[in-house]
Each structure stands twice: as structure tokens, then as C-alpha cells.
Structure 1
Amino acid sequence: MSAERTPESGIPGEPGTNGPRHRGKGHRRKPRSRRRKGLIVTAWTAAGIVALGGTGVGYLYFKLNGNLESVDIDQALGTDRPEKADDGSENILVLGSDTRAGGNKKLGGGTDDGSARSDTAMVVHVYKGHKKASVVSVPRDTLVERPECTDADGTVHDAASNVMFNSAYSTGGAACAVKTVESMSGLRMDHYLEVDFSGFQELIDELGGVEITTTEDISDPDSHLDLKAGTHTLDGEQALGLVRTRHGVGDGSDLGRIQLQQAFIKALVHQVKDIGVLTSPKKLVDLADTATKTVTTDSDLGSVNSLMAFASGLKGITPAKMNMVTMPVRYDPADANRVLVEETKAQQVWTALKNDRAIPGTATEGTAAGGAKGVVSAP
């Protein structure tokens, strides 16, 4: 099928995309009470901050390098994987982890056993030339076929049918999450980035907040979130509330929350590119220190030098060159809290990315959406 003949949601700024967003008027809210749960959602934002921090030498370099944690995905998964693309494009799996220990326990609640789950997953496809990207959110409540996988400790976990997508991470960690995504999509994940809750809040606060505009009131007592329609600069606690709310907008599902998360990511990327951190050496070091403590990477990105090189290749991707969609799904008629993959439409998404093409607009037409689109926009 010819890409030129297909209506495309594609990349912002190219044919078939939506028009410009308009900022509403409003006022800024004061910080609210501490959020119970939160979410890290962006890959290159944290990596970009690390790249800036990497301009230091000596002690700073070793300090940042010591902060990083990595997982050897290649060793855990072996050779039974999709082939790597040879066209210069890259695929990155980004997970927001809901760890039940340490600083995250306070944000995430739950048990004391230190277990974790992936609260959000995004497949980031960076196109050849690294000037634009498509981001595909995978709803955590999607029922999937989880393949047999081996975790980073060498433990083998049996395959399972009709289980929630986020069970892959809670069962076998990063390696199992990667294998499940590769099995679903047929795409090789070149890199893995995982970001935690507590680091997210700290990053937002150190950035001085993130500006978003709401087109309608958002009120969710469970999230301690109360935003009137208008423009707000959210601090870390408020940002956690926004990206975690399920009941304040749309149909109350995970799909509506994903739409808020996608809008927030664009606002966050805009904020990082516009913050001018190089004017303050202390701020630069603080941001780099927090960012390296916040992310877990695959072993190929497990050093400051590698992460710097990776981030440098993403600096040209502006919010206007990011196309964000949700993997095509439909509501499960047997359980309103679950969704099922729209196989034909989802395959359109994965095929487009495999061929380094824009995602066709037909792939997401008529699929379950959550009803929160346009509620939040970036500057």
C-alpha cells in the first residue's frame, strides 16, 4: 500500500495531521496534598537532562555513572527475537514502574514486599534521521498472550493466555515486558528505559513545574486533583495526580488517562527544551543527578557516555514532531475494566513502524479511546 494514498495520523507537521492547539485562559493553582500514586511517562526527557549533565567531568561523571542501573535484556532474551532494523530507525520500550518499596512505596501504596508492576508502557519509534517519532501507548489493562520468558536472574516463566499486559513486568521484570511487546508487535526493541514514581515528582519540581492548559474542569478526589479549565503550572505532586487520574475525565478508564499522559509528555518535552538549564550549573547538576537516579536502562545504555550519545540523537525531536497514539483496542464485553487488541488495526500500526512509515489514520479510527482527547494541551 502506498503511504501517499493512505490517510495518516502520521507525524505532526505532515499531511493528515491535526491543526494547532489553542491555549485557554485560566489561573495557576497552588500545590495540592501529596499524591498517592504517580507515573513516569517520557523517555528522552530524562535522557536529555542526563546529556546536559554529562557536560561535567571528573567527580560529576563518576557520580552520575554510579547512579545508573541497567538490565541485560539481550542476555535474558537470547537470539529468538525480531531482527533489528537496518534503516537507521530505532524502537524504545519505555515503562513507568510502580515499585512497592522505598520512595515509591509512599507514592504507590500497596504491600511491603517490594514487588513492582508496569503502570504504563509506550513503544517509541524514532524514524530514520532522528528528527521525528511516533509513540504508541499500550494500555496496561489489555488482555494479551504472554510468551514464555526468562527474567534477568535466569528464572523461566511460563507462557500465559488472556492475562493483563502489565502482568508481564510483574511476572518477569523488564526482560519479560520486552519479550511480550516484541511478540505483540513483531518489532525489535533496540532499547529499554524504565522510570520510577518518586524520581518523576522530583524532576518536575526541579524543572520548576510544567505548564499545561485544561479545556474543562478536572476534579478527582482520589487523585487529590482539582483543576479548573485554564492554564496551570503543575508541580510534581499535581503532575502525578494528572497522569494518574482515571475518574476526573472521559469514561474513567485507563484509555482516558493515557490521553492525559500523552498531552503531558508533550508539555514536559517542551518545558525541558525551553528551560535554559545551562544558565545554572547547580540546576544542571541537580537535574542530571535526579535523572540518573530515576531511570533504569538496558545494558547498552548503562553508562553516562552511552546515555549521552543516545540522548544527543534525540535532541532534534520537538513536540511538533511527535505523533502519539494508543494501540488500537476495543472494550472487553465480558469485563468493562479490560480491553482487547483490535488485531487488524493494531497490525496496521506495527507494519507502518516496521517499514519506518507514518501510522495510518485508519488504524485508530473507530477504536476505544476513553473520551479525554483535547482535555489537556501543551503550550
Structure 2
Amino acid sequence: MTRHEEQGGTGRAVGRRARALRIAGLTLAGALVLGAAAAGWAYWHLNNNITGVDINSALGDDRPARAVIAPPVTASAAASPLPTGSLNILVLGSDSRSGKANQALGGGDSSGARSDTAMVMHIDAGRTEATVVSIPRDTLVTRPSCPLPSGGSTAMAYQTMFNSAYSVGGPVCAVKTVESVTNVRMDHYIEIDFSGFARLVDALGGVDVTTEQDIDDDKSHLHLAAGDHHLDGTQALALARTRHGIGDGSDLGRIGLQQTLVKALLERIAATDLLTAPARLYQVADAVTASLTTDTGLDSLKELMNLGQSLKGLTADRVRTVTMPVVPAPFDPNRVVAKEPAASTLWASLR
């Protein structure tokens, strides 16, 4: 082989390597662009899933004072931009009647929605401990006059069921009624509907719960023997709605099951390393945001992520669940009223 032939062969080999490198580089660049585009689309999609309600503007200044409790600033706290002050969040589970998914899960017709579950979540300063207070939906309260999105306002109502506030005035009236009953300022509002809850549980791979007694409820379509169970989303939702198959059939028995589910969800989230499973993380985020309504202080993915990160030290064993103290209403055994002074003492501890 001549020197010219050797150089030609070497040149062709170098050329092939150069082309291969260019192709690999273009492929990598394309993958990075597509990855960035996919990430951008995912963020946009999740962000636009969330529905926001401007509760602060609707209610104005006629509200309880904000809590100003915050832990002492330490070197580590000063280095972190995450908030650490105490919070009170009204969490509602609504039996929304819109959409095929909600109707299939028991949401009924499309004429409206009710707040099937109501909890005030108080997060202590430092955000490593919390108290979740359930409010029975059958509690008789004085419902204040609430502003309506279309203008005007609802009429004040006496001795009316607590969950009527959401029915007549939506999130704004639900917040105003809770603040009127408790004299505690709600810093945020979070609402998730039937389908969103079921999808969240499924995205997490189900939840593990222990039932203390047999449950046989034809209305919620749930039939479980006492013991340990792994529930999918539909079953978990049925457990959250069950009332006729346990205890005396009142809302108080159902609240106990809902509190069990809250703990089970927290434990499941803690046990699932979502950061190492991007597909699972996206499923969970999509399930939550698709059926989520919040106040405008939480109606973006960034704000929700900041809240979640600020609660990273809050574990299931540091969450206390209680029910607002109640007694049967004197004129209607199927309804309850706040038990005083125990109820007022509980709410005062959350201010």
C-alpha cells in the first residue's frame, strides 16, 4: 500500500469518526431540546390544571387577624428561603357533580356540589407538627352573609347545616363560615373533588389501612371485613364516604375513617420516593392538580411546591387528628351543635 493510499484510508476513517461524532452530538442536542420541551410542557400543563379563587379580595378585611407566630431565626433558617411560620388551611373534599369521572364515582347529577369533607389543618410554627380538625358536615351553624361572584350576596342563615355554605356560596362562603364559627383566620384554601382523590390514591399505588370493624355499606358500595387492607382509589374514596355501614350511621363515624385515610396517605407519600421516579411523580402531580381548587396564594405549581418543601419535616406521626367537639342538637337528633366551651378552647389553641 502506498503512502497516498494509507493517508486516504486514514482520512476516510477520520471523516467517518467526525460524522459519527456530529450525529451523536446532534442526537444528544435533539434529546436535550425534546427533554426541555417535554419538561416545559409538563410544567405548563400542571400549572394550568389548578383552579384559583381570589378569596382574599372577595372577603376583604372583615376577617380574623392573621397569626404572626414564627420560630426564632437560626443560621440554617436564614439560609433557607422557605417559609416557616404557622398556617391554617381549610381543606375541603367536594362531591362535585360535574364531569363523567365524578359522576361515575357517585357525584350525582350536574346540578352542583357539596363539601363532603371539611378539615382545618393547623401547621405549627416550624412546620414539623400539625393538627387536623374535622368539622362534621351536619353541624348546625350561623352562616354569615357571603359575597357572590355574580354580585350581591347570600342571606345570613341561622341553625343551618355547615356544608350548606359551600352549596350556596362556593369556596368564598365556605371560608367565611369557617372563620365565623372558629374565629381563626384561614391562610389558605384547598379543595379536591371525587375523581382527583381517587386518581391520587391510584397514582401512589394505593393505601394501606386497618379497619376496626366490618364495613357493609350498600350506599358507598364498600364491603370490608375488619382487618388490614390495601385499597385502590375507588375503594379509598368509598371508605371516605362510608357512614351507614359503621357505628350509629352518623357523620362522626365517617370522620374517623377519613382521619385514618389522611394518616395512610401521608405514610404512603413518605414511603414513595417520588424524586427517583419521574413518571410516578408526574402521575401524582397530574392527579392532584387536575382536580384542585385553591386560593390565589396557592394557585401555581411553584407556590404549591414551596408549600410542600416547607413541610418536608412533617411526618405522619407528627400529625394529630381530632374532631370539633359536638353534642346532638336539642331539637334534632340527626344534627349536632358545637360543644362549649370545649370547641372554643380547641379553636383558640390554633390561633
Say whether the fold is shared (TM-score over 0.5).
Answer: yes
Residue-by-residue CA offset, 1:266-315 (whole Å, 9 max, x unaligned)? 01110011012233221111211111112111001111111111111122
Which secondary structure does the structure 2 equivalent of 1:260 belong to?
Answer: helix
Q: Distance in 1 between matches of 2:263 and 2:122?
A: 15
CA contact (8 A) 2:327 2:336 kept: yes
1:192 aligns with 2:215: no
Deviation at 1:353, TM superposition (A): 1.1
Higher mean C-alpha displacement, 66-75 vs 96-105: 96-105
Show the counterpart of 1:64. Answer: 46
1:350 aligns with 2:350: no
1:77 aligns with 2:75: no
* Percent identical residues: 54
Q: Distance in 2 between matches of 1:245 and 1:353?
A: 29
More helix by share: 2
Show the counterpart of 2:223. Answer: 226
Residue-by-residue CA offset, 1:135-184 (whole Å, 9 max, x unaligned)? 11010000000011113443311111010000000011000000001111
Which secondary structure does the structure 1 equivalent of 2:219 belong to?
Answer: helix
AA at the equivalent of 1:66: N
CA contact (8 A) 1:151 1:174 kept: no
1:155 aligns with 2:137: no
Residue-by-residue CA offset, 1:87-108 (whole Å, 9 max, x unaligned)? 1211000001111111222323
1:168 aligns with 2:168: no
Q: Distance in 2 between matches of 1:91 and 1:130?
A: 11
Measured at CA, do residues 112 and 59 of structure 1 come closer, stay the same or move farther in structure 2, by a change above 3 Å?
Answer: closer
Show the counterpart of 2:279. Answer: 282
**Any residues of structure 2 matched to 1:126-141 within 5 Å, and which?**
126-141=123-138
Q: Pick one of 239, 245, 249 that aligns with 2:242.
A: 245
Q: Distance in 1 between matches of 2:177 and 2:287?
A: 29
RMSD: 1.4
Show the counterpart of 2:109. Answer: 111
Which secondary structure does the structure 1 equivalent of 2:290 belong to?
Answer: helix
CA contact (8 A) 2:146 2:173 kept: yes
**Any residues of structure 2 matched to 1:1-379 within 5 Å, and which?**
57-87=39-69, 88-102=85-99, 103-113=101-111, 115-354=112-351
Which secondary structure does the structure 2 equivalent of 1:308 belong to?
Answer: helix
Q: Distance in 1 between matches of 2:107 and 2:211?
A: 28
Deviation at 1:343, TM superposition (A): 2.8
Q: Distance in 1 between matches of 2:226 and 2:344?
A: 37
Residue-by-residue CA offset, 1:9-54 (whole Å, 9 max, x unaligned)? xxxxxxxxxxxxxxxxxxxxxxxxxxxxxxxxxxxxxxxxxxxxxx
Measured at CA, do residues 86 and 139 of structure 1 come closer, stay the same or move farther in structure 2, by a change above 3 Å?
Answer: same
Which secondary structure does the structure 1 equivalent of 2:341 belong to?
Answer: helix
CA contact (8 A) 2:201 2:232 kept: yes
CA contact (8 A) 2:325 2:342 kept: yes
Q: Distance in 1 between matches of 2:261 and 2:110?
A: 30
Q: Distance in 2 between matches of 1:110 and 1:283?
A: 30
Show the counterpart of 1:32. Answer: none
Please give the TM-score of this superposition, normalised by the length of structure 2: 0.82
Q: Which protein has greater RCO, CA pairs closer than 8 Å, 6+ apart?
A: 1
Please give the TM-score of this superposition, normalised by the length of structure 1: 0.76
Q: Distance in 2 between matches of 1:135 and 1:244?
A: 18
CA contact (8 A) 1:76 1:154 kept: no
Deviation at 1:81, TM superposition (A): 0.6
Larger radius of gyration: 2
Deviation at 1:63, TM superposition (A): 1.3
Structure 2 gap ranges (5+): 1-37, 70-84
Q: Distance in 1 between matches of 2:126 and 2:334?
A: 40
Structure 1 gap ranges (5+): 1-55, 355-379
CA contact (8 A) 1:73 1:152 kept: no
